[in-house]
Amino acid sequence: MHVRDAVEADADDLAAIVDAPADVMRNVVHDRTVRVAINRDESGPHADVDGESPENILGFVSFDAREDTVYVTQLGGTTDACERLLGEPIRFATNERMTVELFVEVDDASLRSAVENTGFGEVGRGPTFGGQETVKYRLDPKQRE
């Protein structure tokens, strides 16, 4: 598994992962820090454009930073990919001495597992999005040192 910056051409794949319109995901790629986890595989859906194997996108994370907190705005994909991708905002937060926060749907056991396996702790209820209750998670990298 390899992690790279997302590009606009990834929007359709990202949209499929989180069931969102591709235009929305194009905006996310432009407006946030977005990383994708890929598996280079000869059977992947992307054309080989420069002599490298095609890529299969396994997941993505988008995040931004404000004041003293890094906010994970979207996270999706396989459990392994999500665990690996959460390392991106955690590294940023560690370097900048910030905390990391995100919301996960209560019923999304796979994503909750990935978040908890990465060291996040549940800190309460989150807002309701589209009728789905969420749980708020926080990680303070300074406390892991």
pLDDT per position as a tens digit, 10-65: 999 999 999 899 999 999 999 999 999 998 654 444 444 444 445 789 999 999 99
Rounded Cα–Cα distance for residues 38 and 1 (Å): 6
DSSP per position, the chain = -EEEE--GGGHHHHHHHHT--HHHHHHHHHHSEEEEEEEE-TT-SS---SSSPPEEEEEEEEEEEETTEEEEEEEEE-HHHHHHHHHHHHHHHHHHT-EEEEEEETT-HHHHHHHHHTT-EEEEE---BTTB-EEEEEE-GGGG-
Q: Any idea which architecture 2-144 has in CATH? A: 3-Layer(aba) Sandwich (3.40)
pLDDT at position 130: 87
What local confidence, expressed as pLDDT, does residue 47 receive?
Answer: 44
Q: How far is CA 111 from CA 18, 30, 82, in A?
A: 12, 24, 7
pLDDT for 41 equals 55
In the chain, where the domains are located: 2-144
108-136 pLDDT tens trace = 999 999 999 999 999 999 999 889 999 99
Tens of pLDDT, residues 81-100? 999 999 999 999 999 999 99
The tokens for 131 are 């009728």
